[in-house]
Amino acid sequence: MAVKIIFCPSCGEEVEIADLYEGVEINCKSCGCVMIYQEGKLLLLDTNEEFSLEDLESYEEEEEIEEDEEEEEEFYYDEEY
């Protein structure tokens, strides 16, 4: 059972986090990048970038919301004609 599902900051694929504790090493199965959870953030070892979990959780949800809004606008204009 996954504790959290995030999106890999390198490739964008879903990564399941089974345990979330200080110092845990998380590997992306798709691209092989390694992240370490420390001080409430994920440290990407390849680039030393830090990411908050909230940013990585909402990555794809924001894209889906934008796509839905575009579809709604197109539907609205179709009804006018």
Interval 12-67: pLDDT, tens: 898 888 888 899 999 999 999 999 998 888 999 888 899 888 888 854 444 444 55
Q: What's the rounded Cα separation, in Å, for the pair 49 and 43? A: 6
Q: Please give the pLDDT value at position 25.
A: 92
Q: Please give the pLDDT value at position 20.
A: 86
List beta partners, residue 24: none
Instruction: Specify the pairing of strand 4-7 against strand 14-17.
Output: antiparallel
Residue whose structure tokens are 């092989």: 32
User: Are residues 20 and 4 in contact, defined by beta-carbon separation less than 8 angstroms?
Assistant: yes
H/E element holding 49? strand 49-52
Please say if the pLDDT value at position 5 is more than 70: yes
pLDDT band at 70; cut points 50, 70, 90: low
Q: Please give the pLDDT value at position 61.
A: 46
C-alpha dihedral over 25, 7, 18, 39, to 10 degrees? 50
